[in-house]
Amino acid sequence: MVQFKTLDDLDATGKRVLVRLDLNLPLQGGKVTDLTRLERSLPTLKELVNKKAKVIVLSHLGRPKGRNTDYTLAPIAAALKTALKPRDVFFCEEPQGPKVIQAITHLMPGQILLLENIRFVKGEEENDKEFAKEMASWGDIFVNDAFSAAHRAHVSTEGIAHLLPAYAGRLMEQEIKTLEKSLECPELPMMAIVGGEKVSTKLPLLKNLLPKVDFLVVGGAMANTFLAAMGHAVGASLYEPELMKDAIQLMKGGKVILPVDVIVAEGLGNPKNHQKRSLSSIGEREKIFDIGPETIYHILEIMKRCHTLLWNGPLGVFEVPPFDYGTNAIAQGAARYTAQGNLLSIAGGGDTVAALRHAGVLKDFSYVSTAGGAFLEWVEGKPLPGVKALEQACHSVES
């Protein structure tokens, strides 16, 4: 179990608190189109403001590769001001230098200052020690509330945690505790659903999950490699012949659940011409785009007996109806079992969040992580630099 200090351990009154958030929000026409990540950051900000801290927010937006006004946080600052009214929120148009020092000097307890995109600074992504020292001079305390950026060893996620007293924000705390509960001490039986395009991108995830779960549902195009390994013809569907041996190894324990019927078409250009097929009747020119009704029934019947569900990746091409039916049906079933109190349902990853939103159940799961790469790396069993730094900071204080 990861040990770290939280806001419960923090006396922030009058202190300059550097807070790393993930405000990497989608923009269109200079306006934010999805406030989910911002909204999940508000509890930490409100708590620090109520404790009369001087809050300095650090965040990135995209991958600007140096200073690039297309990636300015100015629209994010406007959204943050609206979300935190009537609290005072200010924006500094620089991510480092004299203007930052001046803005922090004028900051009063209970006020918030958002700095410009921290990735405009070359040393940020290099985890440069000199930039870390400069950043440390801006504050008295560091709070990391950006689990979704914790897999990056950058100055604002890792380097700074070694130079200031470091704490986890409420979102970071919630993410870690939820994922630990689902992976380290889950209530059994446990099902994992892993979908996506290629086995090659999810192989470490599958290998790490297999010994922990009772049932491992494999869907999306990656299931085609497993079906081909079993000797089924998959028509013109995408699959990876070079990974068929890995698929066979994964299936040896009898935990892997694969489609027993599928929905096919000759292409996505004319989705109306789709057909249900058994695994023995897929045509040479046909491509698999979704799971079939028998597979849906089979998965939901097993899920009904489970108490923990971990989901990453859609089960079909959910962006193109009617190939969203399988993912929608399984997601809605999971939401139903969750509402009945029988299932702890946890999901994460960019495509997964989009698929659950499409299915209308994003708020009906027990927990949905907005972290993409960090969520995947945690579930794969990889250490996250940002989390490890918080743990080291906690142990250094204890010793």
Residue 198 bears catalytic tag = yes
Span between the terminal Cα atoms of the chain, in Å: 18
Closest CA to 338 of 311, 371, 315: 311
Q: Write down the catalytic residue from 15, 16, 37, 40.
A: 37
Dist CA 222 CA 364 (whole Å): 27
Residue 99 bears catalytic tag = no
* Biggest CA-to-CA distance, the chain: 72
Question: Would you state the structure tokens that stand for residue 67, as one six-digit string?
Answer: 């200073």
Q: Write down the catalytic residue from 67, 99, 198, 357.
A: 198
Dist CA 242 CA 229 (whole Å): 10
Residue 129 bears catalytic tag = no
Q: Write down the catalytic residue from 67, 81, 99, 350.
A: 350
Dist CA 57 CA 19 (whole Å): 5
Distance set, CA 380 to CA 122, 308, 311, 339 (Å): 30, 17, 13, 28
- Supply angle C-alpha 20, 151, 95, rounded to 5: 35
Residue 269 bears catalytic tag = no
> 270-300 burial, b if ≥16 CB within 10 A, otherwise e?
eeeebeebebeebeeebbbbbbbeebbebbb
Query: Which residues are catalytically annotated?
Result: 37, 198, 350, 373
